[in-house]
Amino acid sequence: MLIIFYIAAAVAVIATVLVITQHNLVHALLYLVVSFLAVAMAFYVLGAPFIAALEVIIYAGAIVVLMIFVIMMLNLRQESVAQEKKWLNARIVIGPVILTLVLAAELLYMLSTETSVHLTGEVIGAKAVGMSLYGHYVIGVELSGILLMAGIVGAYHLGRQKKKVTHRFLEKQEE
């Protein structure tokens, strides 16, 4: 099982790097889907099938679809790909890469010295997830609910249209 986890993790990392380096936005989002699927696989191997399913349903199935939806509306074509190519040159990458290497070195050091995390093989089902969400973490769930509500109200406010009246007399009375 451990080898499956490492393969899934490697796929996730490679796909995520490709998300950043792709010039075409839709291709980048496709790699993002692959990355989410790989993370779901890793969750499944670690004994959290419920979270794995939610990862696919919510992230890969809904959120990325919404992103692609927005990008389709923007109708980006060859010009944007060329612009992206111009922006994404090698010099920009140097800074993040050095910082990431520092983090990676730290991680390797930790892994080599600390006792490694044990895979218990214990399966965490839907019930356990629900109990912890509505028991221990209930404040977090409610706060994120309020945040989403604010987002929906804001979107409704921005998207609301005034009723247009095209009648020659009534037109003047409106506003």
Residues in contact with other proteins by the rule CB under 8 A: 24, 26-27, 30, 33, 49-50, 52-54, 56-57, 60-62, 65-66, 68-69, 72-73, 75, 125-126
Q: Compare residues 104 and 133 and give the one whose CB is closer to other proteins.
A: 133
In whole angstroms, how close is the CB of 137 to other proteins at the nearest point?
20
Residue with the two structure tokens 């986890």: 5
Q: Compare residues 109 and 134 and give the one whose CB is closer to other proteins.
A: 134
In whole angstroms, how close is the CB of 77 to other proteins at the nearest point?
8
In whole angstroms, how close is the CB of 132 to other proteins at the nearest point?
17
20 CB burial (10 A radius; 0-12, 13-18, 19+): exposed
Contact 38, 12 (CB under 8 A): yes
Residue with the two structure tokens 């409610």: 142
In whole angstroms, how close is the CB of 152 to other proteins at the nearest point?
11
Q: Compare residues 125 and 145 and give the one whose CB is closer to other proteins.
A: 125
Q: Compare residues 26 and 143 and give the one whose CB is closer to other proteins.
A: 26
Contact 46, 1 (CB under 8 A): no
Q: Compare residues 61 and 140 and give the one whose CB is closer to other proteins.
A: 61
Contact 29, 71 (CB under 8 A): yes
Helices and strands counted in the chain (H then E):
9, 0
Q: Give 117's DSSP letter.
A: P
In whole angstroms, how close is the CB of 169 to other proteins at the nearest point?
28
Backbone angles phi, psi at 114, to 5 degrees: -70, 155
